[in-house]
Amino acid sequence: MHPAPPEDILPSRQGKKNPLVLVGAAVTAGVLTVGFVAFKAGNANLSQTMMKARVFAQGATVALMVGTSGAAVLPSFTGSK
């Protein structure tokens, strides 16, 4: 018995990348940068607010990555295209 080829197990996702993940990563990096600048300037309140916003943005980006990866793989398990 031969193992299944990789494309039968997990189909190729070439061309199905989600640009929103890149946007989420850029937003996370931007918020992080503003937080660091505020911290260096001594603005503790803004720095703390930006760190909380960074956690939210990072969580949203990870959720988007997980959601879109599930959406890309799900049709191969259900048999639909």
Question: Would you place residue 14 in the very low, low, confident or very high pLDDT band (cuts 50, 70, 90)?
Answer: low
Task: Return all residues near 11 (Cβ < 8 A) that are at least 6 apart.
Answer: 73, 76
- What HEC string does 5-50 produce? CHHHHCCCCCCCCCHHHHHHHHHHHHHHHHHHHHHHHCCHHHHHHH
Q: In angstroms, rounded to a whole number, what is the distance separating the alpha carbons of residues 57 and 30?
A: 10
Cα separation of 41 and 35, whole Å?
10
User: pLDDT digits over 38-59, tens only?
Assistant: 999 999 999 999 999 999 999 9
